[in-house]
Amino acid sequence: MNTKEIKILYTRTQNEIINRLIDLDETSKKHIIRWKHKQGGGGRSCEIVGKRYIEKAAVNFSSITGKELPTSALEKTGIKGLKSFNATGVSVIVHPWNPKIPCSHMNIRFFEANIGSKNIWWFGGGFDLTPYFITEKDILFWKSSAKALCDKFNINSYKEYSSTCNNYFYLPHRDEPRGIGGIFYDQLNKLDYTKCKDFSLECAKTFIDSYSTIFNKKKLLKFTKKERSFQLYRRGRYVEFNLLYDRGTLFGLQSGGRPESILMSMPPLVSWNKDYDFKDYENKLLKMFKLARK
């Protein structure tokens, strides 16, 4: 079983990301809660709140065990005859105060199960960027960082992972993307275990390095009340996606996870009201979304 090693490595990853985020906002404070899962295992949830740059961030670790997978997990696997499973992961979401700084999300996860006498495993995860105001240069930087990650491991899968990310982080009822994308992968086990594990850990590192660069570049930019209002309005799209389509949210709730930790990814403030005419802002943003998907 590889779960024991992954728990140690993912816990270390969680700590590293917490420290990196706190470095981005010297006013931020962390609040950590440890919890137990009713089937087995548990987690460690960390909420970060700042007064200057980070309005709210969540960096959560969980490792749960069980004998029955929720429907959200079975959808793509075709697993039958499951005897036991363990799902371990780290998830991150950052909601900045400044609307010029994008919201961003990352998760890495490892799944291991016993089916009869057979042990199976795979990795999944990825990261994406949900901006409110974005430039072509920022898009190029974000995409090139994701491509460099894939190229580093010589797995020639950037186009596939990028396309999967674009297709997944999409709101059908709005007919629009959630953001500019990134990479998203699942059931990664065709390479040897060590290479898959290293790719997973490097995914988390690439995310925090790339996001920190964009964050620091934009955190001192001035913004208006209208721009802040647009940010709160567009956050509604993030909430809609997480509640309607996100498989991680569904898995957590269906498997009996701690609701407060699962829903910690939600923004602290959100609005579906248009306090201003946002037509120009939205047209520019959707144009950038379209550019990012080419």
Q: How many residues are present in the chain? A: 294
User: Please, which contacts does 224-231 make with residues 24 or more away whose CB atoms are closer than 8 Å?
Assistant: 226/275, 226/276, 227/99, 227/100, 227/132, 227/133, 227/281, 228/99, 229/271, 229/275, 229/276, 230/99, 230/132, 230/276, 230/278, 230/281, 231/99, 231/132
Selected catalytic residue, list 31, 37, 105, 173: 105
The answer to whether residue 95 is catalytic is: no
**Token output for 7:** 């728990």
> How far lies 234's CA from each of 90, 189, 229, in Å?
25, 36, 9
**CA-to-CA distance for 143 and 165, rounded, in angstroms?**
12
Residues labelled as active-site residues: 105
